[in-house]
Amino acid sequence: MSTVQRVSEQGPSGPNAPGRRPSARRIVVVGNGMVGARFVEEVARLDPEGERVHVTVVGAEHQPAYNRVLLSGVVAGDYTPDQIRLPVPQTPGVSVRLGVGATALDTAERRVDLDDGTHLVYDELVLATGARAAFPPITGVSAPDGEPGEGVTALRDLADCERLLALARPGAPVVVLGGGVLGLEAARGLAGRGARVSVVESSPWIMRRQIDQSAARVLADCYEDLGVSVHSWRVASRWIPGTGLVLDDGRVLPGDALVVTAGVRGNIELAKEAGIEVEHGVLVDDFLATSDARVHAIGDCAQHPGGGAGLVQPGWEQASVLASRLTGAAPQARYAGARPLTRLKAQGIELTAFGLVQEEELGPQVETVTVSDPHGRRYAKLAVSEDRVVGAVLLGFPQAAASLSQLYDTGAPVPADRLALVQGLPTAAAQEDAAGAAPALVCRCNAVSRDDIEQAWLDGARTRESIAERTRATTGCGGCVRDVNALLAGMGGGRSTEPVG
C-alpha cells in the first residue's frame, strides 16, 4: 500500500500534482534514497515556492528517506531508525509518494508507469534508484528467484537491519560474507552486541580495494582482539541453515545468520529497458544527463567517467549540481568526478584511507613513508608525489588522518618532515596556510570547510546542532563530529552529544 505525503497525486492522465503552477516544469524523481532526497531538498531550497519546477518523488521503500550510511550504526546500537531520518522539505513544489515503485519508462511519451496502476508525465526525469546487494551464486545463499536463503540477509535497507537484528541475538554465531568496508562495519557492530562473528573474504586481504596488505594484517589483528575471526582468501562453497558456512577447505564456520556484504549492483533496469545507455550503471555526462537528454541519473545508479558511485558525498554533489541546473539557478553547473576517501565506522578502530596505496599503483616517482607497529595495532603509509599527498592508509593515527586528508583535499605542498606528518604533528596546517591553499574541508560528505564553520559561528551558531542546521556538517557519515566539536571548543562554543543523522 502506498503512502502519500502532502500533495496527493493524480489519476492515470491528470497533471502530476493538482497544486502545481501551470508554468512549473514537471520533474519526476524515481528513488527516495539519500541522493533522491537530497536532490529534492536542494530544489526546495532553490525554488521554495515551486514557481519554476514541481517535483514528484516516488520511492519503493515505505518509510520516509533515511541516512543509509548510518545503518551500520543502527546494527551497532548507536542509533535508532528514528534518529537517522533525513529532512523532508515542506514546500509547495514537492510531492512525495512512498511505497510506490516505478515499473516502466516511456521516453517518447515522457511517462513513468507505477506499480499502483497510475503513471506520471515528466518534463525532466531523475533516476536516483541506487543499488541493491549482490548475492553470490553459492548454494543456500539465495533462492533461484533471487530472494535470500533461510537465515541470510543483506545490509542495504532498514528492513535488512531489522531482519539481521532478529537473527543475531547475543551469543549467536554470525558469519559475514565479504570483508570490505560494509562487512567489517557490520562485524564490529554485531560483535559489540555480543554475537560471535566470523568474516570471510575471497580476496587475499580484507578491504582489498582501499588498503594495502600490511595494513590489512594489522586490521585483522584489531578484529581478532574483538573476538571476530577473519578468514581472508577463502571462498565459501555452501550455506547450511542452522549450521553455518562451508568453506572451500572443508571447514564449517558456525552461523545462525549469514550477512552478505559482497558488493552491490546498480538498479539500472528501468533505464536499460527504455533503451538508455548503461554499463554497470546508467551512463551520464558532466551534466548528469543520460543518452536521453530529458533523463538524468544521480547517485549509486549513475556511472560517470570520474566515478563516485557507492559513496554518498559524490551523490550529494551530483544532486546539488542537477538541482542547480534543472531549477535554472546555475544552468552551466557540472559534476567533475570524485576523490573518494574511506573512513571505517567501527567503534574503537580509527582507519582512514584514500588515493594511491597499493604497491602496484605506486610508480618509481612516488615516495612512501611507512610506520608499522603491529603490537600497538597501528599502521601508517603515506604516498607523496611531486611534494603532494597522493595517498595514505592511517590505522590508529587519527591526528595524521585529519591533517593528511586535508593536504590531499587542498593539494597543499607536503612539509619536508614526512615522518612528523605521519605521526600527526601540526606541520600540515601551517604549510597549508602559508601556501594560501583552499580552506580545509571538515565535513567531506557535505563539502563544508573550516571557514564555513567559523562563519556559522560568527553568525551565532554555538552548538553542533546549530552548526549542522546552517552548514549540514556532521549530517553525513558522522565522521567529522569530533572535528566540529573541537573547532567549537576552540572558538569558545558548546558541543553536543546528540546523535547525528
Ligand X SMILES: Cc1cc2nc3c(=O)[nH]c(=O)nc-3n(C[C@H](O)[C@H](O)[C@H](O)COP(=O)(O)OP(=O)(O)OC[C@H]3O[C@@H](n4cnc5c(N)ncnc54)[C@H](O)[C@@H]3O)c2cc1C
CB 68 within 8 A of CB 33: yes
CB 318 within 8 A of CB 298: yes
Of 21 and 45, which has the nearer Cβ to ligand X? 45
Q: Among residues 17, 55, 138, 155, which is the contact residue for ligand X, using CB under 6 A?
A: 155
Q: Among residues 17, 36, 210, 321, which is the contact residue for ligand X, using CB under 6 A?
A: 36
Of 261 and 431, which has the nearer Cβ to ligand X? 261
Minimum CB–partner distance for residue 62 and ligand X (Å): 10
Nearest to 133 by CA among 165, 81, 77, 176: 176
Query: Cell digits for 330?
Result: 546555475
The residue number whose beta carbon is nearest to ligand X equals 33
User: Greatest CA separation found in the chain?
Assistant: 68
Of 58 and 88, which has the nearer Cβ to ligand X? 58
Query: Which SS3 state, helix, strand or coil, does residue 182 take?
Result: helix
Of 241 and 263, which has the nearer Cβ to ligand X? 263
Q: Among residues 89, 92, 93, 130, which is the contact residue for ligand X, using CB under 6 A?
A: 130
Nearest-10 crossing angle of helices 398-410, 428-435: 20
Per-residue 3-state assignment (H helix, E strand, C coil) for 35-56: HHHHHHHHHHHHCCCCCCEEEE
Told to check if 267 binds ligand X by CB under 6 A, we report yes
Query: Cell digits for 193?
Result: 552486541
Of 127 and 246, which has the nearer Cβ to ligand X? 127
The HSE-up count of residue 480 (CA atoms within 13 Å, CB side) is: 30
The pairing of beta strand 53-59 with beta strand 25-30: parallel
CA dist 421 and 418 (Å) reads 5
Q: Among residues 24, 28, 29, 30, which is the contact residue for ligand X, using CB under 6 A?
A: 30
Site size toward ligand X (CB under 6 A) is 35
Nearest to 379 by CA among 255, 213, 266: 213
CA dist 458 and 446 (Å) reads 20
Amino acid present at 157: D
CA dist 409 and 19 (Å) reads 44
- How many whole angstroms from its chain centre is CA 462? 28
Q: Among residues 156, 231, 234, 472, which is the contact residue for ligand X, using CB under 6 A?
A: 156
Interface map 180-219 toward ligand X (x if CB under 6 A): --x-------------------------------------
DSSP state, residue 285: -
Query: Which SS3 state, helix, strand or coil, does residue 175 take?
Result: strand
Angle at alpha carbon of residue 317, lines to 314 and 321, rounded to 5° = 135
Minimum CB–partner distance for residue 96 and ligand X (Å): 11
Instruction: List binders of ligand X among 458-497 (CB under 6 A).
Output: 477
Q: Classify each residue of 51-70 as buried b or exposed e, where b means 16 or more C-beta atoms within 10 Å of its C-beta.
A: ebbbbbbbbbbeebbbbbbb
Told to check if 72 binds ligand X by CB under 6 A, we report yes
Told to check if 68 binds ligand X by CB under 6 A, we report yes
Told to check if 69 binds ligand X by CB under 6 A, we report yes
Minimum CB–partner distance for residue 312 and ligand X (Å): 4
Minimum CB–partner distance for residue 61 and ligand X (Å): 4
Told to check if 176 binds ligand X by CB under 6 A, we report no
The pairing of beta strand 252-254 with beta strand 119-121: unpaired
Told to check if 87 binds ligand X by CB under 6 A, we report no
Which one of 78-86, 124-132, 165-173, 192-200 is the stretch in contact with ligand X (CB under 6 A)? Answer: 124-132
CA dist 238 and 259 (Å) reads 14
Which one of 20-28, 31-39, 376-384, 458-466 is the stretch in contact with ligand X (CB under 6 A)? Answer: 31-39
Of 66 and 397, which has the nearer Cβ to ligand X? 66
Q: Among residues 92, 151, 180, 299, which is the contact residue for ligand X, using CB under 6 A?
A: 299
Helix-strand-coil percent breakdown of the chain, rounded to 5?
Answer: 30, 25, 45
Minimum CB–partner distance for residue 164 and ligand X (Å): 10
CA dist 90 and 100 (Å) reads 20
Told to check if 296 binds ligand X by CB under 6 A, we report no
Told to check if 179 binds ligand X by CB under 6 A, we report no
Which one of 24-32, 41-49, 417-425, 427-435 is the stretch in contact with ligand X (CB under 6 A)? Answer: 24-32
Instruction: List binders of ligand X among 338-357 (CB under 6 A).
Output: 345
CB 84 within 8 A of CB 477: no
Minimum CB–partner distance for residue 103 and ligand X (Å): 7
Told to check if 131 binds ligand X by CB under 6 A, we report yes
Minimum CB–partner distance for residue 317 and ligand X (Å): 11
The residues that touch ligand X, with contacts defined as CB under 6 A, are: 30-36, 58-61, 68-69, 71-72, 101-102, 128-131, 155-156, 182, 267, 270, 299-300, 310-313, 315, 345, 477
